[in-house]
Amino acid sequence: MSENDAGEARDGEGRQPPDAWLAQRVQAGESAAFEELARRYLRPVYAVVGSLLRERADVEDAAQETFLRALDHIRTFDASRPFAPWLYTIARNTARNRRKAASRHRSEPVGSVVVAGDDPDPEQRTEQAEIRSLVATALDELPDQQRTAFRMFDIEDYSAQEIATLMGINAGTVRAHVHHARRALRERLGPLLGPGADQ
């Protein structure tokens, strides 16, 4: 690798190169620069597509497709603008397209079938499956940005600023999305949460 390769490109203080610089290197045909961007954004992309899709295999496929689409369309990236929101848009659209396609071919998910004798307490297993389904449905009913902000903040443990950078919005808006998502989930799942859930 040369000194200009993404893995070794550092300033005098050892900082990593900016995303825009890496994207420009990818536009110039340097695969190492794309590998570095993929490494940086793998976890956030999984979080974004995971907030929109239920099945693990769909999440993995959508994440991989996101990076392939980003590579295919890297020439459309404007280096004067932030890279993260550009990639976020690709991830969100990829997941939405997969969700739409899945809804056209909807069938009983394999994981929801209860087979007698699989568990010492089939009634408890059925109840847990129903609860998971209710929670997933409640999450699906949230607007995309609320669902993504909620998942990244409360489940994936990203900071509001990290989410804001990725989504291309300010941190206050992220916190508002999380607040509204929590409130909506409390309203929808109140009976499951029991007394005091509204507080």
pLDDT in tens, 170-187: 999 999 999 999 999 999
pLDDT score at 134: 86
Structure tokens given for 157: 């443990």
The helix, strand and coil proportions of the chain, stated in percent and rounded to the nearest 5, come to: 70, 0, 30
Q: How many CB atoms lie within 10 A of CB 153?
A: 21
- Percent of the chain residues past pLDDT 70, beyond the cut: 81
Query: What does R_g of the chain's alpha carbons equal in angstroms?
Result: 20
Quick check: 4 pLDDT over 50? no
Quote the CA–CA distance of 88 and 72 in Å, as a whole number.
15
Residues of the chain with CATH 1.10.1740.10: 1-103
Q: Per residue in 67-81, pLDDT tens?
A: 999 999 999 999 999
Residue 118 clears pLDDT 80, i.e. is over it: no
**pLDDT of 42 strictly over 70:** yes
Q: What is the mean pLDDT of the chain?
A: 84
Contact in structure between 150 and 177 (CB atoms under 8 Å): yes
- Of 90-94, 117-121, 163-167, the range with the lowest mean pLDDT is 117-121
User: Does domain 1-103 fall into CATH 3.30.70.1380?
Assistant: no
Write down the architecture of domain 123-199 according to CATH.
Answer: Orthogonal Bundle (1.10)
Residues of the chain with CATH 1.10.10.10: 123-199
* pLDDT at 169 > cutoff 90: yes
Span 138-162, pLDDT tens digits? 888 999 999 999 999 998 999 999 9
Range among 119-123, 180-184, 188-192 with highest mean pLDDT value: 180-184
pLDDT at 29 over 90: yes
